[in-house]
Chains A and B, each alone.
Chain A
């Protein structure tokens, strides 16, 4: 018997963007409020898992053609790159830099290289979680 999941699929199409937006908010708010790369990454993978629940693995591979192995590698590269970047300026490994910039549209921003390190954590967490879930969930 073929089941009809239209309520679940329509609810997923609405809720997915709220979850992704919330995870991006948690990722960027990590410097001043609770949150950060780890929780943001887990929440993003939660959104992809909801997509996997409502649809199937083939559809999700078509929507998100991402190799999560490369995602982990990119995240580790971000983390090591921000660490090794300090060595170029004659400061110890993992020294972070901080600056205030004024951009035309975005206005006054305070940029910190710790955010790039956090982006690496985010990518690694998403990649590891999705690889675990997809490897276990794959039948035969």
Chain B
């Protein structure tokens, strides 16, 4: 029962991820692609959570927090590159 529900939800999130991949490929500007990749990361979190429900294990729960942190750091790095041209500045008040 709970496996069936989890599989249906995984299917729905996979369709949403496919739509986001369309935006990554087609997106006219770079920020569109960055936002789509960020949302794909969060969808991966949801897929990992649903798979750990379907497999009835709690071994993947660290992966969820890890993917959230990595998606945040990656998006911040890319948006800083788009805004300033450098990712790590030497001296901010120069």
Q: What residues of chain A have their CB less than 8 Å away from a CB belonging to chain B?
A: 3, 8, 15, 19, 22, 26, 33-35, 39, 43, 46, 49-50, 52-59, 133-134, 137-139
Given that A22-B69, A53-B80 are contacting pairs, would A133 and B62 also be in contact in the complex, using a CB cutoff of 8 Å? no
- Chain B 53-94 interface residues, beta-carbon cutoff 8 Å to A: 59, 62, 65-66, 69-70, 72-73, 76-77, 80, 83-84, 86-92
Contact A35 B73 (CB under 8 A): no
Given that A34-B59, A35-B62 are contacting pairs, would A53 and B88 also be in contact in the complex, using a CB cutoff of 8 Å? yes
Interface centre among B69, B77, B80 (most CB of A within 10 A): B69
Provide the bound-state CA to CA distance between A133 and B87, in Å. Answer: 11
Residues of B within 8 A of A35 (CB): 62
Contact of A59 among B66, B77, B80, B92 (CB under 8 A): B92
Chain B, interface SS category: helix
A56 to chain B, nearest CB (A): 4
Contact B88 A133 (CB under 8 A): yes
For the complex, count residues of B whose C-beta is within 8 A of A.
20
Contact B73 A139 (CB under 8 A): no
Contact A57 B69 (CB under 8 A): no
Top 3 A-B residue pairs of the complex, sorted by shortest distance between their CB atoms? A137-B88, A56-B92, A56-B89
Interface centre among B59, B70, B77, B89 (most CB of A within 10 A): B89
B12 to chain A, nearest CB (A): 27
Q: What residues of chain B have their CB less than 8 Å away from a CB belonging to chain A?
A: 59, 62, 65-66, 69-70, 72-73, 76-77, 80, 83-84, 86-92
Contact B92 A22 (CB under 8 A): no
Provide the bound-state CA to CA distance between A35 and B73, in Å. Answer: 20
B73 to chain A, nearest CB (A): 5
Residues of B within 8 A of A53 (CB): 73, 76-77, 80, 87-88
A31 to chain B, nearest CB (A): 14
Provide the bound-state CA to CA distance between A22 and B62, in Å. Answer: 9
Residues of A within 8 A of B86 (CB): 139
Provide the bound-state CA to CA distance between A19 and B67, in Å. Answer: 12
Residues of A within 8 A of B66 (CB): 39, 43
